[in-house]
Each structure stands twice: as C-alpha cells, then as structure tokens.
A and B are shown apart, each in its own frame.
Chain A
Amino acid sequence: MGPLELLAFSPPGWGGVLLRALLTSLEVAAGGYLMGLLIGVGGAFGKLYGGPILRDLLEAYTTIIRAVPELVLIVLVYYAGTDLLNRLMAALGYARLDVSGMAAGIAVIGLVQGAYSTEVLRGAIKAVPSGQIETARAYGMPPFLLVRRITLPAMLPHAIPGLANLWLIATKDTALLAVVGFTELTLATRQAGGATREYMLFFCAAGLLYLMVSLVSNVVIALIERRARRGMPGFSS
C-alpha cells in the first residue's frame, strides 16, 4: 500500500483512527486544562489571601508537583489514584468503580496543570497595581464584584502568555498517557506503525497533527491576547 492508502480515512487506512485519537487527545487536554485553571484560580487566591496553613499546604502542592516528572505523577495518580478510590468505595460499602481512562487522564493532567496555573495566576494578580484594587474597595465594591470587574480583567494581560504556554504543554502532556495504555494520538500512532511496519510515515503524520494544533493555538492565542490588552497602557504588542 502507498502512503495515501495507508492514511486513508476508511478501515484499511489508518487516517480515521489517527484523527479520532487526536480528538481524544484534545478532549483530555481541554478537560485537564480547565480543571487546572479552576485549581489555579483557587490556588492563586489561596496563596495570596489565605491563612498561613492554607498557604503552606499550597506551597507544598506546587513545589512537589513541579519538581516531580509528569510521567511519574501520571503513573502514580493513574494507578494509585484509581486504587485508592476503589478502596474508599469498598470501605464505604459501594461496588468497585470502573474509572474510565478519559476521566483518569483529565484528573492527572488537571492536577499537574493546577500547580503551574497557580503560579502563573499568582504572579499575574501580584502584577496588578494594588492601588486599583484599593480604589475599588474604597468605592465599596463587594469582593466578588471586585474580582470580576477589576482583578480578573487587569491581570489577564499578565496571565495570558503563561496560560498560553500551559495550554501548549497540556496538548503535549497528553502524549504521556500513552505510557499507561490510554489510546490517544501517540499510542494510536505507534499501534498503526506496529501493524503496518510504516513507523516513519505515521509518526511524521502525527507530528504534523500536533504541529497543526500548536500553530492554530498560537493564532487563537494571539487574537485573545490582543483583545485582553485593549485599552491597557504599557502593553505594546
């Protein structure tokens, strides 16, 4: 079979399998990224405004997660996490849970991303001039409105480069799930290569797909960045 036939979308070709796997990768990346963002917002506000105990616990979380290789964390959370969950269910008298690979993958990527977004968002919030927040307080703005109207929009230009990096890292970190046997793009590619002995062709095709994702992401990020910076003094793009 020629390369075009091998990459065809219908079954003798592997194109459809690769595209579906790409979709799985993107779903896990997006889910993990959003979960990381939620952890990050909580973590950043906790680190900046929380009590001393909460701050130290968050510090331990970000330090450990950022110092240990993602692969080790993924294997640890993937196996140990599901095992602990099942032990907990058994202790409470429920039946075993069959944790789907997708859910476990999202949880793992989210936990890792959370540590990094905590740091990115903390830095961004600190970069907002404290006078702006104090002015809003002096006007009697309630805390939630203050976050929504002042802190979030003012910190966004500082946070976007870091958050963009995190998104690109998330799309590539999903490849690590191949090691625990979750069929995303990289593992599907290896399976296609193994079945046809055409490793070079399939790995190059997968590389192109990953590259497309990051190039398209870059374009979208540039648009978001320009919008977030509108009307901001001191940010020339």
Chain B
Amino acid sequence: MREDNAEAIHAMADLIDPEEDKGAKSESWLKPHRVVLLLLAALMVALMAFNMRWDWLPLYWKEMLGGLWVTLALLVGSSILGFAMAVPLGLAQVSGPAPLAWAARGFCTVIRGTPLLLQLWLLYYGLGSLFPQIPWIRGSFIWPYLREAWPYALASLTISFAGYEGEVMRGALAGVPKGELEAGRAYGMSRFTVLRRIWLPRAIQRALPTLNGEIVLQLKATPLVATITVIDLYAVISDVRQDTYIIYEPLLFLAFIYLCLTGLLVAGFRHLENRIPTRGV
C-alpha cells in the first residue's frame, strides 16, 4: 500500500516537473549494474581483440585517413551547399509566386519520395551517359570534372540535403511571428533588409535543432558514394575486406568509427545550440 502511494507521488512529480528525472540521471550515472555491464562489455572487447585479426589495421591507416577526409569533405561540402539551396527552397514555398512555390514543393516531394541511392545512380549513370553526347559540354572547362565520380556524389548529396532541409526551412520561415516582420517594415526597412536582418536569422534559430539531426543523417548517407567509385571511408574498408578476406573486423571497426563521428557531431551541435540560438533572444 505504501509502495503504491510512493509510485503515485512519483508519477505526480513527473507531471509537475518533467525535468526531474533528467536531473536524477546526471546525479548518479554509475550504478552497480552498469559497472557489471561495462565489465562484461570490456571482457567482450578484450576477447574480440585477442580472437580477431587486427594486423591489417596498421597497414591501411594512410588509406583510411584519406577515406575519412573524403567522407568529411563530402559531409561538410554537401551540408553547406545544400543549406544554401534550402533557404531559397523554403522561401519560395512560403512567400514565392505560385509557380515557384509549386516547383519548390515538387522538388522537395520528389527528393524525399525517392531513395538517395537511386538519385545517385541517376546522376552518375544517367546524366553521366548523357553529357558526352552534348558537344558544348565536351568543349567546356567543366568537362574534366564531369568525367570523375566525386562531382556526381557531391551533387546528389547536396540535392538530397536541400530537399530535406528545404522542408525544415519552410516550417521555420512560416513559424516566425508575422508581427516581427511587420515591425521591421514599420521601421522603414526594405523587404530585403527585413529578410536579411529579421526573417532569416529568426528562422535559422528555429531550424538549428533539426539541422543537427539532418547532418547526422547526412553523415550516414555518405557511404553510398562508394557505389559510384568515390573512395570514402566505407570504400577503403571494403577494399580491405576484399584484399584480406577478413569478414567481421573491418566492418566492426568502420561501425565504431561512424559511432564516434556521430557522437562528436551530436556533442558539437549541443554545444553550439547552447550558445548561438539564445543570443539576443
């Protein structure tokens, strides 16, 4: 009976202050059962370290660093370019003329409705087989780049990021209170100044937490570029597997690296979020 009461009180405390259990979590993270679980995990890792083959690791570290660089360059490049595309996509949907709004909405729907792998192969195999048939492209300065794989990888990652982030920006732009924009106009700001000084900064503040999640998704999408012969981290590890006939170790190592990268991204964005969005609000 008393226990039931205690439970009910706890439930009420949850209702009144939902943050309460968060505080409790940070108070005592290390509990006896966690120590046991961690020891078991350490034992497993030790068993893996001794029973598995890791002799390939020192032989390939240079290639792996190169692959990591390609992965990160694609991630950063496509995120920045994609975000630059997402802002006009969101703007067109919120306040553009009807045909532009329709085009932007259609673009986002198509990108979100088809798999990235298909888009990647469409660009690489499809466009890649069309370009050589167009004479003025063969003569232009971009032709040498079009014969490599990475521009197609960057382009399709960028387009896909823009499609997802365009929707986010649409919501964020629409969510800025109209009064703030009207206040800017009342102060005599031009439409463009209102956009630059008020609308965009407020919308980006709103979009930032979602951006975090989108960039993690983008990181997890990068290994697909290995299927069109871009040598990223995943491709290097695939090569290791083919060269050495080792099944598990390289893939487990790869999963571990991505786990670390995701953790770093999430922690970095949490740090950013705590500082930037509250500035001046």
Contact = CB atoms under 8 A, between A and B. Distances in A.
A129 to B, nearest CB: 8
A117 to B, nearest CB: 17
A150 to B, nearest CB: 15
A67 B224 contact: no
Interface residues of B, number: 45
Given A199-B126, A207-B110, A68 B220 contact: yes
Given A53-B33, A76-B255, A211 B115 contact: no
B125 A190 contact: yes
Nearest to A174: B115
A80 B248 contact: yes
Interface stretch (B53-61, B116-124, B195-203, B269-277): B116-124
B129 interface: yes
A53 B117 contact: no
Contacts of B220: 68-71
Most chain B CB neighbours (cut-off 10 Å) among A68, A79, A176: A68
A185 to B, nearest CB: 8
Interface in A186-204: 186, 189-190, 193, 197, 199-200, 203-204
Interface in B215-239: 216, 219-224, 227, 234
A178 interface: yes
Contact of A204 (B122, B216, B248): B122
B37 interface: yes
A196 to B, nearest CB: 11
A164 to B, nearest CB: 13
A68 B260 CA distance: 9
A204 B227 CA distance: 19
A67 B259 contact: yes
Contact of A52 (B31, B116, B216, B262): B31
Contact of A175 (B37, B117, B251): B117
Contact of B117 (A76, A176, A213): A176
Contact of A79 (B110, B116, B247, B255): B247
B259 A64 contact: yes
A203 B118 contact: yes
Contacts of B262: 67-68
A186 B34 contact: no
B113 interface: yes
Which 5 residue pairs spanning A and B have beta carbons closest together?
A175-B115, A214-B113, A67-B262, A203-B122, A69-B220
Interface of A: 52-53, 56-57, 64, 67-73, 75-76, 79-80, 83, 130, 134, 168, 172-176, 178-179, 186, 189-190, 193, 197, 199-200, 203-204, 206-207, 210-211, 213-215
Interface of B: 8, 11, 14-15, 31, 33-34, 37, 109-110, 112-119, 121-122, 125-130, 216, 219-224, 227, 234, 247-248, 251-252, 254-255, 258-259, 262-263
